[in-house]
Structure 1
Amino acid sequence: MTVDQIPYTHWAYFTDRPAAEACARELAARFDCLTAIDPAASGPDPWLLRAARTVDLNAPGGWHDEIEEVVQHHGGRYDGGEATMFVPPVNPSD
């Protein structure tokens, strides 16, 4: 990860788990996302898909559009995302 990149997690909701799983596979293959599917805490859609990846700070428009397109293709509802905290590992020899 360079200075111009940050870890970012996208959120999407689905009415059925198989659609969420298909979306997760495509996001992993196309965008190298690390994905997780869990029951949603609330709302009309019972499944939450989180897709984490590294995004480039110089291309903020591309953070969402390409992911939202895939989510919608699989029948999901894209709900944005959030930057996640990244703390470099401690070097034990320091």
Structure 2
Amino acid sequence: MEEIAFTMQLKPGNVAEYQRRHDEIWPELSEALEKAGIRDYSIYLAPESGTLFAVQKRTPDHTADQLPGLPIMKRWWDYMADLMDTNPDNSPVAKPLQRVFHMD
């Protein structure tokens, strides 16, 4: 499994709504993520800063790079855009993180 980590930024005052929307994640979005080879996906929050820390585990043959072209992904980004920092296409501003330690 490949593991990647990245941060995103939540706008102030949106923690509860962000959590609610993810608690009710659309089944067709979950299906698209799984079909793309994402097998484990967690998002953590640093409440004092609104920083979101995400970790994904992907299969070796994943197609996650194709997710941005899917209509369901674009709909999700549009749905979430009011809650977080986004790029012009409403995708979240995601900053990749470099692993500096791992204990197995």
Q: TM-score, normalised by structure 2?
A: 0.47
Q: TM-score, normalised by structure 1?
A: 0.50
Per residue, is there more strand in 1 or in 2?
1
Larger radius of gyration: 1
